[in-house]
Amino acid sequence: MNPEDKDPIETSEWLEAINSVIEEEGIDRASFLMTKLAKRLNEEGAIPTYNLTTPFRNSIPVKDEAQMPGDLFMERRIRSLIRWNALALVLRANKNDDDLGGHISTFSSAATLYDVGFNYFFRGSEGQLEDLIYYQGHSSPGIYARSFLEGYLHEEDLDNFRREVKKPGLSSYPHPWLMPDYWQFPTVSMGLGPIMGIYQAHIMRYMSARGLVPRNDRKVWVFCGDGEMDEPESKGAIALAGRESLENLIFVINCNLQRLDGPVRGNGKIIQELEGSFRGAGWNVIKVVWGRKWDPIMAKDKEGKLQDIMDAVLDGEMQNFKAKGGAYTRENFFAKDPDVLKIVEDLTDEDIYRLNRGGHDPYKVYAAYHKAVNSSGAPTVILALTTKGYGVGSREADNTTHQVKKLSLDNIKAFRDKFNIPVTDEDIEQIPYVRPPEDSPEMQYLKNTRAKLGGPIPRRRKESKVLKMPDDKSFSKLYQGSEGRNISTTMATVRVITDLLKDKELGKRIVPIVPDEARTFGMEALFRQVGIYSSAGQNYEPEDADKVMWYKESKEGVMLEEGITEAGAFSAWTALATAYTNYDFPMIPFYLFYSMFGFQRIHDLAWAAGDSQAKGFLIGATSGRTTLNGEGLQHQDGHSHILSSTIPNCLSYDPTFSYEIAVIIKDGIQKMYVEQKNYFYYITTMNENYEHPPMPKGAEEGIIKGMYKLLPAKKPVIRLLGSGSILNESIKAKELLSTYGVESEVWSVTSFNLLRKDGMEIERINQLNPTKKEQKTYVEECFEDNPVPVVASTDYMRSYAEQIRPYVNSDYTVLGTDGFGRSDSRESLREFFEIDANSIVRAAAYTLHKNKIMDKAQLKKIYDDIEVDPLKPNPWEV
């Protein structure tokens, strides 16, 4: 808002005054005076408006720009080849009818932003820990094209872009799962790169504060699109980065002003909007708006009239200036003021079109990166103005350019000519890759630049140190059971974590993480025992300083108390769970959360953690639709095991007893950190207190595989399967059934998900090998001696236990908690959802009768005794 100037003479006096301070005493003194004046204004109730955004121009004045030391022309030749090969690999992938897709316009706008980084800043892994770089997903063709020139990828690799079924192939986007020695971070789901990058920088500082891995001048670079910044995750953690002064973090936002469908802010200015958001969050903001060709023009703008036009022009119009050319720009931009029009009167229309944007000018980009890596005390965001589809002829800055994957011959030629690519008209239809000979100056230059920076990137470390198993004491205490006490599985898990923290070998690698929920899970003793990490330490006396379990924050604190941000806490977990690759230092993070606010809330981040081959433990506490009882519909989780099962490398368990937890965690450490398997674990724990028995002999194997016989019977006519706290209902049902002379076995199912996985695997092996001896699934092996009917009950939706139906070769009934949760006592809820002992007895009696094992009279007696109501409302419909 520009209020009317009521007294221009007075205004100019003030301006003169500040100008003379700037000239004589410098910008710092001028800023000091302005701050004092602003404070005075605020005292009168004025709201500061001037200090969040600066004019729409480069933040670094020309006189302060660091000079790029390299050979500009050589670098342009190399960058042009990278541009061409990136274009070629997408066009070639789409020449036939395979419809493989790919993107041209994103990288074409970002090429210089990456190139300057690769040439001068991004550190490789030789002799040091490499910089951590989150590449914008859709720019992958350009990253591959550079690796090709550097000699790490070959023509056949490029020709297998997006062909991943048969190796070798290049994944569509950055996916460590598919290219485990190349890509470090999955970024293509928009918003995940920015939040994961922020927490990566946070964890980098945590690791060094604890003396585990020195930080040195290592950086986290996050490249993202301007459209991508609309994702809540993209901006959701920027305040943390500012608050924590993450000076090791640099965001580069490619502001090409377009997203997929059209302009990002047609009616506004995305660069200005982002500047305000980031500066408000405490970041250094460096705008790279105009390229060097604008410098002499801006120098002529003595009265600021050109600047006024720049400040007012909308992004929607800016797009037209690139899409419609120089004459259009003269008429619709410069002609807004006759004095400004004069400034460009000596320029041809072509000259005007070629007035370059900052993000395409290596000098300007270099100056910005130089400032970013050398600044301290705050994270930096670089907002670079670019053109989407830069150089692709008529498709430049057009609204549909995002999805271009085929180009007309004219546009290919225009691209070739603009970047002086040595391909003749005769060859051009083949779109050949271009790579100069190994001994050419270009190749030598390219190799030298990377050699100086510590070798090629992207690179991913596949494996790290093998860890030693912890002292068995951490687990064996739990094998005894709770010895008469009533405890919860959450308490048992916290006990394992507390013991592991004390382990000589592994202790320092164990990190408990909570999103403001430690007291809920009875973990507050850890506050004092290991301290809560705070980069600031603790500069106040905590309210509870006189208590045993006081709230201790410390620079060397171990526990991560991330506040109420499941996405943030999960991103911190992911950074630690991938520390084995990114820091060459395996960590064992335990993230404890309300199970309902786990996968349901952050599933896409969990999917990315799977892609990243994270290793660690997720503990879904207060789980179960009826076990967490007083909280109601939004809190009571009856489906997180279904959600976790969708991630291929996530192993999930729903244990009941503390010894089961001990066995599962021990096995997890063995598999992930000793055998180096790329799994992560999801374990649900509950807040219901009950007695825990000692571990039955020989139960370990079954616990790990997913099921074991807990209570045998001499001549069982039915099997009762139970998991989580509902196993206790199955145990009660066994007792009830025995009063009617019905003998039953009880099985503890620690993981229906793993039983299903085993079943699928065996089924497939048999199908592929019809002439070999048929193998049995684990469920078949368990039940084959006596194929009696089976009733399974869990605190989860029926589909969780349904998964093993193909392998139970007898009558199979499943009880579960389909429907919305509600608040009540556990007893009422279990009756409502029909998973209490009586409902299990009902299901057992019915199936026995159906199978002609129980007569009608006995069925009727049981139904009468347990008061079965045929008109009871259906729990998933009321």
Interface residues toward ligand TPP, by CB under 6 A:
106, 109, 138, 188-190, 225-228, 254, 256, 258-260, 264, 388, 402
Residue 106 binding partner per list Mg ion, ligand TPP, none, with a CB distance cut-off of 5 to 8 Å that depends on partner kind: ligand TPP
Residue 57 binding partner per list ligand TPP, Mg ion, none, with a CB distance cut-off of 5 to 8 Å that depends on partner kind: none
Query: Does 191 sit near Mg ion (CB under 5 A)?
Result: no
| Cα distances (angstroms) measured from residue 348 to each of 353, 549, 771, 772, 872 | 9, 74, 79, 80, 84
- The smaller minimum CB distance to ligand TPP, of residues 227 and 586, is found at 227
Q: Are strands 380-385 and 553-554 parallel, antiparallel or unpaired?
A: unpaired
Element (H, E) at 802: helix 798-802
Closest CA to 72 of 134, 119, 20, 23: 119
Q: Are strands 690-691 and 486-487 parallel, antiparallel or unpaired?
A: antiparallel
CA–CA dist 606, 34 (Å, integer) = 47
Closest CA to 503 of 467, 465, 474, 531: 474
CA–CA dist 73, 75 (Å, integer) = 5
The tokens describing 872, both together, are: 């009871």
What type of residue sits at position 306? L
What is the closest distance, in whole angstroms, from the C-beta atom of residue 117 to Mg ion in the complex? 18
Sole window of 248-256, 421-429, 521-529, 814-822 interacting with Mg ion (rule: CB under 5 A): 248-256
What is the closest distance, in whole angstroms, from the C-beta atom of residue 225 to Mg ion in the complex? 4
Residue 189 binding partner per list ligand TPP, Mg ion, none, with a CB distance cut-off of 5 to 8 Å that depends on partner kind: ligand TPP
Query: Does 391 sit near Mg ion (CB under 5 A)?
Result: no
Residue 370 binding partner per list Mg ion, ligand TPP, none, with a CB distance cut-off of 5 to 8 Å that depends on partner kind: none
Closest CA to 103 of 320, 325, 222, 254: 254
- The smaller minimum CB distance to Mg ion, of residues 388 and 798, is found at 388
What is the closest distance, in whole angstroms, from the C-beta atom of residue 111 to ligand TPP in the complex? 12
What is the closest distance, in whole angstroms, from the C-beta atom of residue 136 to ligand TPP in the complex? 6
What is the closest distance, in whole angstroms, from the C-beta atom of residue 67 to Mg ion in the complex? 29
CA–CA dist 357, 843 (Å, integer) = 72
What is the closest distance, in whole angstroms, from the C-beta atom of residue 110 to ligand TPP in the complex? 7
What is the closest distance, in whole angstroms, from the C-beta atom of residue 162 to ligand TPP in the complex? 15
**Segments in 534-657 forming alpha helices (H):** 566-577, 579-582, 599-611, 640-644
- The smaller minimum CB distance to ligand TPP, of residues 379 and 389, is found at 389
- The smaller minimum CB distance to ligand TPP, of residues 111 and 446, is found at 111
- The smaller minimum CB distance to ligand TPP, of residues 496 and 608, is found at 608
Which residue is nearest to Mg ion, using beta carbons? 225
Q: Is 314 helix (H, G, I), strand (E, B) or coil?
A: coil
- The smaller minimum CB distance to Mg ion, of residues 396 and 561, is found at 396
What type of residue sits at position 803? Q
- The smaller minimum CB distance to Mg ion, of residues 390 and 590, is found at 390
Residue 138 binding partner per list Mg ion, ligand TPP, none, with a CB distance cut-off of 5 to 8 Å that depends on partner kind: ligand TPP
Residue 228 binding partner per list ligand TPP, Mg ion, none, with a CB distance cut-off of 5 to 8 Å that depends on partner kind: ligand TPP
Dihedral sign for Cα 787, 788, 793, 798, please.
positive
Contacts to Mg ion from residues 686-715, by CB under 5 A: none
- The smaller minimum CB distance to ligand TPP, of residues 330 and 388, is found at 388
Query: Does 226 sit near Mg ion (CB under 5 A)?
Result: yes
- The smaller minimum CB distance to ligand TPP, of residues 561 and 566, is found at 566
Query: Does 256 sit near Mg ion (CB under 5 A)?
Result: yes
What is the closest distance, in whole angstroms, from the C-beta atom of residue 256 to Mg ion in the complex? 4
What is the closest distance, in whole angstroms, from the C-beta atom of residue 274 to Mg ion in the complex? 12
Residue 188 binding partner per list ligand TPP, Mg ion, none, with a CB distance cut-off of 5 to 8 Å that depends on partner kind: ligand TPP
What is the closest distance, in whole angstroms, from the C-beta atom of residue 201 to ligand TPP in the complex? 21
CB-based contact 823:630 (threshold 8 Å): yes
- The smaller minimum CB distance to Mg ion, of residues 225 and 724, is found at 225
CA–CA dist 170, 178 (Å, integer) = 8
Residue 836 binding partner per list ligand TPP, Mg ion, none, with a CB distance cut-off of 5 to 8 Å that depends on partner kind: none
All residues at 6 or more sequence positions from 572 whose CB lies less than 8 Å from its CB, including other chains: 199, 202, 203, 513, 560, 562, 589, 591
Buried-exposed string 833-856: b where 16+ CB fall within 10 A, e elsewhere: bbbbbbbbbbbbbbbbbeeebbee
Residue 402 binding partner per list Mg ion, ligand TPP, none, with a CB distance cut-off of 5 to 8 Å that depends on partner kind: ligand TPP
- The smaller minimum CB distance to ligand TPP, of residues 183 and 708, is found at 183
What is the closest distance, in whole angstroms, from the C-beta atom of residue 172 to ligand TPP in the complex? 11
What is the closest distance, in whole angstroms, from the C-beta atom of residue 850 to ligand TPP in the complex? 48
Partner residues linked to 560 by β-bridges = 513
Number of CB atoms found within 10 A of residue 382's CB: 26
> Side by side, which strands form the sheet with 707-711?
707-711, 744-749, 718-722, 790-793, 812-815
CB-based contact 834:626 (threshold 8 Å): no
Query: Does 227 sit near Mg ion (CB under 5 A)?
Result: yes
CA–CA dist 305, 308 (Å, integer) = 5
- The smaller minimum CB distance to ligand TPP, of residues 260 and 545, is found at 260
Query: Is the backbone peptide bond immediately before 875 cis, with ω within 30 degrees of 0?
Result: no
Which residues are at the interface with Mg ion (CB under 5 A)? Answer: 225-227, 256, 258
